[in-house]
Amino acid sequence: MTMLVVGISGHVGSSLAAQAAQQDVPLVGLARKPAPHVERFAKVHLGDARRTDLGLAPEEAEALAADVTSIVVSVGSFDLSISLADAQAEHIAPLRGVLKFAGRCPNLRTVVLVSSLLALGDTRQRLRSDLIPETMRHRNFYEWAKLHGERIARASGVPVDIVRAGHVVVSEDNGDRTSEPQALFELFRLMTAGWPLAVVGSNRYWSCPAGFAAGILLDRAQHGTGGSAVWAVDPNSPTYAEIFDLINARYGLRVKRVRSAGLARALAAVVRPKWLDLSMNREVLDYCNAQWDLDLRCLDQLVATGRVTPPLGRDYLVRSLDYEFARLREQLP
């Protein structure tokens, strides 16, 4: 069994490579640029999934296709303000390229697609991991790209297992912390500015450490059915209220919250961070009041196999909060 990870240089791909190495699972990767932080775990092919044969030389592509038994696809960066053209180029085009390459792999068991909880858009119904809601609204092209990618994968004729991840938090000391703050961590700028957050505190902030998401991907690559779909979230993810209470106590802030769901949604729709001279994505405000009622039975069944172990606590989130808050304080006058 040889696993190919397309997008191996990212947070999820590099964590998956490390876990595969620990379990002696043969693994190779594809990246557009050299990735020295993962080359100690796997051979990395330099290519581009948007091009024919993944951008590899014909002989290299032929040898790889003959050897691969599973492919993990983790492409496209997290960007809530992405344009339609960039969503097509960074998410959809490389996925199509991988699926075309997968069709010529004679020993292929499954393609594991790293999708997102955000693929579900804005919806109010209870959600299974394999469900596409009948009524939903996409708030941005990142959400659209994730759902469109799922539909393309399912219609490809290739066996596909889908993993819908929440916020994958990089908490390891050796993790890549050079990127800009994302999702919840972007809100720190608003918190320190004293702006009331349009938050429904009882909503869960679905997250998980990168290692847990990688463990689920590794399991699906080895034991997937070619038709399964599972969440990659911490079953004990905290609520927004719990997170902001922790922030207040730990960092001495007094985060103001709007507790009315209707008012929170209205404020999130009109508030612009530039009013406070803050350079951040406005789109992140939409998720302060997002409510996803997840049916976690698929994840419970996976944990029951003993192959995947959920986080024992929430320290992964606390460590990342500490890091992001310290980084913000260095930037403040």
The architecture of the domain spanning 3-169+208-234+292-312 is: 3-Layer(aba) Sandwich (3.40)
Proportion of the chain above pLDDT 90, given as a percent: 61
> What pLDDT was estimated at residue 185?
85
> What pLDDT was estimated at residue 8?
95
Average pLDDT, the chain: 89
Q: Whole-structure pTM over 0.85, yes or no? A: yes
Q: List the one residue out of 144, 151, 165 whose CA is nearest residue 83.
A: 144
User: Rounded mean pLDDT of 29-47?
Assistant: 92
Residue type, 300: D
> Which of the two residues, 333 and 294, has the higher pLDDT score?
294
pLDDT bucket at 178, cuts 50 / 70 / 90: low
For 48-75, what is each residue's pLDDT tens digit?
A: 999 999 999 999 999 999 999 999 999 9
Residue type, 6: V
| CA distance to 69, 78, 102, 107, 218, per residue, from 306 (Å) | 23, 30, 29, 27, 13
Which residues, at least 6 apart from 298, have a Cβ–Cβ distance to it below 8 Å? 128, 129, 130, 228, 229, 230, 231
Q: Examine the pLDDT at 177 and tell me if it is beyond 60.
A: no
Token pair belonging to 234: 């911490």
| CA distance to 106, 144, 215, 246, per residue, from 325 (Å) | 49, 31, 28, 13
> What pLDDT was estimated at residue 27?
94
> What pLDDT was estimated at residue 183?
82
> What pLDDT was estimated at residue 174?
45
Token pair belonging to 71: 């492919």
Q: Examine the pLDDT at 273 and tell me if it is beyond 80.
A: no
For 94-150, what is each residue's pLDDT tens digit?
A: 999 999 999 999 999 999 999 999 999 888 888 999 988 877 788 899 999 999 999
CA distance 163 to 112: 7
User: Rounded mean pLDDT of 267-278?
Assistant: 75
Token pair belonging to 137: 């609204």
User: Rounded mean pLDDT of 158-168?
Assistant: 96
CA distance 18 to 309: 16
For 191-216, what is each residue's pLDDT tens digit?
A: 777 777 777 778 899 999 999 999 99
> What pLDDT was estimated at residue 131?
87
pLDDT bucket at 332, cuts 50 / 70 / 90: low
> What pLDDT was estimated at residue 333?
59
Q: Examine the pLDDT at 86 and tell me if it is beyond 80.
A: yes
- Domain ranges in the chain are 3-169+208-234+292-312
> What pLDDT was estimated at residue 69?
96
